[in-house]
Amino acid sequence: MATASTVVLAGVTNAQAAGAPPVSWTGFYVGANIGGAFHEATTTDLNGWGSSGTPYVSPWFNSNKATASFGGQAGYNWQINRFVFGVETDLNYIGSSSTFTPPNTLAINCGPACRVSATNDLTWLSTYRGRVGIAFDQIMIFGTAGLAVGQVDNHWGWGDARFSDSQFSTSGTKAGYVFGGGIELMLMSKWTVRAEAMHVDLGTSRSTITSQPFCCGPAGTFTTEFKNTANIGRLALSYRW
């Protein structure tokens, strides 16, 4: 009798273990992240400010700045079988600032007194994304995409005694898109850690002035175009409930 009871009990235990549900990713979470950001800004002189219609061209007009980033994230996941769907928002401080002085490739029009300067800043970045992943119990591989919003400041100028590094400038909150992916590990029932990478494009903006060029040529309308992108890599720790 005891032997039969033992066999039955073992069978029930095995059946329960076999039918036990897998780890669930469903629920709210909030956490913090730290990593690095690589900010790239392109300054394009479209129609030649103060240079008889010849655009200022220099390879140094493409600035690159690597910096640390940190912030927080919050979101919610829904799991259906192995598929995980979610929404997430985050806010990160970037603090990227790059000021550079390209060589004066138009000295023939301006003379040796010419100066050139350009500055590109990306202060903070926030994203609003969807996430889609495949869960293998405590490990999930995911992709993500959505809206990106960031605070940028771009300006440049060149000239002689009337030089200003803000002849052309644009600043404010810019919107664009973000996409990327990563891998996330459930450490315990309440904690997860992930590694992820994302590409951010905050679009292009233009600055236009109507003025008499400082060195030559008639008065006219001149435009500069600025473009800001960033590549983000980071580690994130989240608490779930």
pLDDT in tens, 161-214: 666 778 899 999 999 999 999 999 999 889 999 999 999 999 999 999 887 766
Taking phi over 0 as left and psi of -120 to 50 as alpha, with beta for the rest, 48 belongs to left
Residue 97 is predicted with a pLDDT of 92
Q: Which amino acid is at 14?
A: N
- Give strand ranges (E) for the chain: 27-45, 62-80, 83-100, 115-136, 139-159, 168-186, 191-211, 220-240
pLDDT in tens, 64-121: 999 999 999 999 999 999 999 999 999 999 999 998 877 665 555 566 667 778 899 9
pLDDT grade for 13, boundaries at 50, 70 and 90:
very low
**110 phi and psi angles, rounded to 5 deg:** -125, -30
**225 phi and psi angles, rounded to 5 deg:** -110, 135
Cα distance between residue 13 and residue 68, in whole Å: 51
Task: Output the DSSP codes for 71-135.
Answer: EEEEEEEEEETTEEEEEEEEEEEEEEEEEE----TTHHHH-TT-EEEEEEEEEEEEEEEEEEEEE
Domains of the chain: which residue ranges?
27-240
Cα distance between residue 145 and residue 176, in whole Å: 11
The model's pTM: 0.83
73 versus 10: the higher-pLDDT residue is: 73
Do the Cβ atoms of 126 and 149 come closer than 8 Å? yes
User: Poorest-confidence range of 63-67, 126-130, 216-220?
Assistant: 216-220
User: Poorest-confidence range of 8-22, 131-145, 153-167, 216-230?
Assistant: 8-22
Architecture of domain 27-240: Beta Barrel (2.40)
Do the Cβ atoms of 55 and 48 come closer than 8 Å? yes
Instruction: Say which residues have a Cβ less than 8 Å from residue 81's Cβ, sequence separation at least 6.
Output: none
Q: Which helix (H) or strand (E) holds 9?
A: helix 2-18
Residue 173 is predicted with a pLDDT of 96
* Residue showing tokens 């780890």: 23
Which of 159, 155, 160, 128 lies closest to 144, judged by CA?
Answer: 128
